[in-house]
Amino acid sequence: MRTITGLYDRYDDARAAVKALEDAGISSDDISIVTNNAHGVDIEGQGSHAAEGAGTGAGVGAVAGGAGGLLTGLGLMAIPGVGPVVAAGWLAATAAGMAAGAIAGGAVGGIVGAMINEGVPEDEANFYAEGIRRGGSVVTAKVEDNRVAEAQAILGRSRPVDYTSRRASYQEQGWSRFDEAAPPYTPEQIETERQRDRRL
């Protein structure tokens, strides 16, 4: 199994990528979505635009896939350095478990540790976590080796962020790696970030 990942500026694009992966026959159990909730994501019509219950820990609420697909299991959690997120799937559950273990044992925890644990290179994991911090959505999928190119093409059809240029943009601003101790971006900072990205 290989883990493929895409970062999206818009939640709707990330949601479309998840649906396309499922439509291609990739199991919901092997797909994950984590999106910054600074602007309040409507959890599939459930009317939840608030980060109620997200707190400061890494607890996961209602993060479980269902018969209706991965997106029916969206729930709220909090990621240190990111703040409240809406998430579903294996990455969210793994991140929550690793964060709890890191608190107890000093391991690399949270979202970065969860991605590294599943084979995402450390520098990429830091980038994707920072992308969520700055208002984005990350979609990950674990796929068989013979389906990697197909799954990457699916992610590519939903307008993902260009990894190379966005990483360069972050580095020009002095960024080097995701910092769990950093304060989460405010909605205003995220909007400023969006405007900068649109100009690039």
- The 10s digit of each residue's pLDDT in 43-72 is 555 433 333 333 333 344 433 333 468 888
Pairing of strands 2-8, 31-36: unpaired
Phi, psi of 6 (to 5 degrees): -135, 140
**25: Cβ–Cβ under 8 A, 6 or more apart, which residues?**
none
Position 199 confidence tier, pLDDT thresholds 50, 70, 90:
confident
Q: What is the mean pLDDT of residues 152-168?
A: 96
Q: pLDDT averaged over the chain?
A: 81
Position 151 confidence tier, pLDDT thresholds 50, 70, 90:
very high
